[in-house]
Amino acid sequence: MSIFGNIVSKIFGHHEAAAAGPEAAATAASSSAPAATPASEVAASTAAPIDAAPATASIAGVDVEAVLTSLAAHHKEKLDWRASIVDLMKLLDLDSSLAARKELAGELHYAGDTEDSAAMNIWLHKQVMLKLAENGGKVPDELKH
């Protein structure tokens, strides 16, 4: 699965678990641990372009801000997910390494210099929020700019 797809899955999974109740939330949290994936499957999933159709079905109507705020309230670290792509990825328990962010930049068609990580990170955060909104997620305007 793509990194953006993982972001969508994590946000939607937490939304569904919260809607189903605390027992389902615990199950979703424990089942969201990454599973071992064969190298060929990883290569195939990272080479494929982002498919917005599954994301649309997954996040339609999800209040992204509410889900992320709830996750942040229960996280051991204080994370600035509203401004930082690194903190957003950490909050979702995803790899936030430079390599992972460069891969996400490729998925989202970043045209800038990936060696300028500060500029890339700002662009990535904005694009992730825009893509979540474009695919039906409820994202406040201030998070899309």
What is the per-residue pLDDT across 42-70, written as a single tens digit (0 to 9) for each?
333 333 344 444 444 446 789 999 999 99
- What are the tens digits of pLDDT across the range 6-22? 999 999 876 554 444 43
Tens digit of each residue's pLDDT (9 = 90 or more) over 69-122: 999 999 999 999 999 999 999 999 999 999 999 999 999 999 999 999 999 999
Q: What is the DSSP string of the chain?
A: --HHHHHHHHHHHHHHHHHH-HHHHHHHHHHTSPPP--HHHHHHHHHSPP-HHHHHHHHTT-BHHHHHHHHHHT-SS---TTT-HHHHHHHTT---SHHHHHHHHHHTT--S-TT-HHHHHHHHHHHHHHHHHHTT-B--GGG--
